[in-house]
A and B are shown apart, each in its own frame.
Chain A
């Protein structure tokens, strides 16, 4: 993990990227949807020898990536995945972006179609801290990971870990691996039941594949 500190100077909130990286087998083909400034893509290509491609909505992000020499296109997860043929990639990654898509189910289906595996990370809206803010504060929650007020957040489709598990079932996928991170960014005990993850996991990372 020594290499990775350079990418995350004092940014424990994106510790999920390290987990995602660990789920990707070396020398594979990867599409990172919502790749931002290309941090994960660079890690994957430099440390895993991955043929890494990205898609990013913001011009700023795309410019940063292309200037770094990454293969990134400006595009929208909701509309631009349809152009890819089936099984174009070994992994299709969506990190911290699912909740910002207009149609998360359709996006997940597309990911499972164009990738042999899909990796999804998202903030868990079922975390106790969030539940407390809604239950007792009566206000939409604002946390370290979700710092924007309801009227300015790009996140329009929040879900809990259990909601996501239900969606995985509905789109006929199965879970290869799942990891929840607690609020200090540490992975939680693997054998903990879903309700514990759902209450104490602040973020979750899922590795999925098609059921058939």
Chain B
């Protein structure tokens, strides 16, 4: 059984927040980020990774937007976990997002804990981590920060913006905020707004973090202990929502963990219990609790139509961006109906849109998995978009 041990402050996760194993863009105090909360955040640090080569015309860039617990380490060994990047199924040489052909960029989101300014970063005004002094972050703020990075890289127009879940929300926000800077967009397993049910799940996670006595109103960095128990419970609860009932049953059923009979105790008798505890305990090794609060809140606040008087179609008025929208049949966290709402809004504006609902029992997390239908859909769409955008074929050895 995996025990969730308290981590000490000064742990590698925190060092990563201030000194990431990544490329870093540090914007001076003269270039603040204007946030939805009404605050000018400065100085701003953006940690990012790139793969492939930017062509001389700077037209082959694909921005990958990561999900709630993702980060910029899309296709390289993760500096904290030592595991492969979170989207190596999708991004790499010869993969749908082909790094032999495209220049792939992924930055840690604003409010994140892997090097971009967030609650775990040191606030230069105090010399301590921001904690709850970090202004509330929105999806639009994340996209604004990414746009600053794209400016810095000298890229006028992204060939594509792609992402799943919270990453998909950023894709939609990119198209709405900077339609002329996005040639094509692939929002996967996402929604134009967070549903009441999703807000409810997020609230359970936040309450679990905040109920941990080690959280200390977000000031845990001074105590030398981290609220790992609360964060692990939040992760365990959330992880259930990423899977489907069918997939859980197929994988774990009622199987017992390393035993032949129940122990008549509260030990992790069932494999599913052991699995969730493992998910919780590994998560806290790489993620900051306050960041979890901020990013779940950013998702809760996301309602794209609301910014356009309640009509989603107005968010995409006269848009030239080509869309490929993907949902999964067993995703009950971001169900197909939400993707369909995006499709209808785009159709209303006459936008070019493709939409596929992929039949799988793997739930919301399907977008991270080895799913051939996802690969053929995205690579076919990217291929035709590249032709329409006038990109050259990949050079192969």
Residue of A nearest to B386 (CB): A69
Partner pick for A72 among B347, B354, B359, B387, CB 8 A cutoff: B354
Does A70 lie at the interface of the complex (its beta carbon under 8 Å from any beta carbon of B)? yes
Give every chain B residue within 8 A of A63 (Cβ-Cβ). Answer: 356, 358, 373, 376-377
Bound Cα distance from A59 to B46, whole angstroms: 39
Bound Cα distance from A44 to B373, whole angstroms: 26
Bound Cα distance from A65 to B248, whole angstroms: 32
Q: Take A53-B352, A83-B347, A84-B347 as given contacts and tell me if A67 and B377 are in contact as well, using a CB distance cutoff of 8 Å.
A: yes
Question: For the complex, would chain B's binding face be called helix, strand, loop or mixed by DSSP majority?
Answer: helix
Chain B interface residue number, banded: 20 to 34
Does A73 lie at the interface of the complex (its beta carbon under 8 Å from any beta carbon of B)? yes
Partner pick for A70 among B347, B354, B357, CB 8 A cutoff: B354
Partner pick for A74 among B350, B352, B357, B384, CB 8 A cutoff: B357
CB of A73 within 8 A of CB of B373, answer no
Bound Cα distance from A51 to B322, whole angstroms: 13
Chain B, 311-368, CB within 8 A of any chain A CB: 322, 324-325, 340, 343-344, 347-348, 350, 352-359
Partner pick for B379 among A67, A73, A88, CB 8 A cutoff: A67
A43 CB, nearest partner CB in chain B, Å: 16
Give every chain B residue within 8 A of A132 (Cβ-Cβ). Answer: none
Give every chain B residue within 8 A of A66 (Cβ-Cβ). Answer: 324, 354, 356, 377, 380-381
Residue of A nearest to B385 (CB): A69
Bound Cα distance from A67 to B384, whole angstroms: 9
Does B273 lie at the interface of the complex (its beta carbon under 8 Å from any beta carbon of A)? no
Does A62 lie at the interface of the complex (its beta carbon under 8 Å from any beta carbon of B)? yes
CB of A59 within 8 A of CB of B357, answer yes
Does A183 lie at the interface of the complex (its beta carbon under 8 Å from any beta carbon of B)? no
Counting residue pairs across A and B whose Cβ atoms lie within 8 Å, the total is 69
CB of B348 within 8 A of CB of A83, answer yes
Give every chain B residue within 8 A of A74 (Cβ-Cβ). Answer: 355-357
Does B156 lie at the interface of the complex (its beta carbon under 8 Å from any beta carbon of A)? no
Bound Cα distance from A74 to B324, whole angstroms: 11
Give every chain A residue within 8 A of B303 (Cβ-Cβ). Answer: none
Does B88 lie at the interface of the complex (its beta carbon under 8 Å from any beta carbon of A)? no
Does B100 lie at the interface of the complex (its beta carbon under 8 Å from any beta carbon of A)? no
Does B203 lie at the interface of the complex (its beta carbon under 8 Å from any beta carbon of A)? no
Does B245 lie at the interface of the complex (its beta carbon under 8 Å from any beta carbon of A)? no
Does B383 lie at the interface of the complex (its beta carbon under 8 Å from any beta carbon of A)? yes
CB of A62 within 8 A of CB of B380, answer no
Residue of B nearest to A69 (CB): B384
Contact mask for chain A residues 31-68; partner B; CB cutoff 8 A; 1 contact, 0 none: 00000000000000000000101000001001101111
B350 CB, nearest partner CB in chain A, Å: 6
Residue of A nearest to B377 (CB): A66
Residue of B nearest to A79 (CB): B340
Does A71 lie at the interface of the complex (its beta carbon under 8 Å from any beta carbon of B)? yes
Q: Take A74-B357, A83-B344, A83-B347 as given contacts and tell me if A69 and B352 are in contact as well, using a CB distance cutoff of 8 Å.
A: no
Give every chain A residue within 8 A of B325 (Cβ-Cβ). Answer: 73
Give every chain A residue within 8 A of B352 (Cβ-Cβ). Answer: 51, 53, 71
Bound Cα distance from A69 to B324, whole angstroms: 10
Q: A75-B343, A83-B344, A83-B347 are in contact. List 12 more A-B contacts (CB 8 A).
A: A51-B352, A59-B359, A59-B373, A63-B356, A65-B354, A66-B356, A67-B379, A68-B380, A69-B387, A70-B384, A73-B353, A83-B343
A-B contact pairs, 11 of them (CB 8 A): A59-B373, A63-B356, A65-B354, A66-B324, A66-B354, A66-B380, A69-B384, A71-B354, A73-B325, A73-B354, A83-B344
Interface pairs A-B: 9 shortest CB-CB: A69-B384, A67-B380, A83-B344, A73-B355, A67-B376, A66-B354, A71-B352, A66-B377, A62-B356
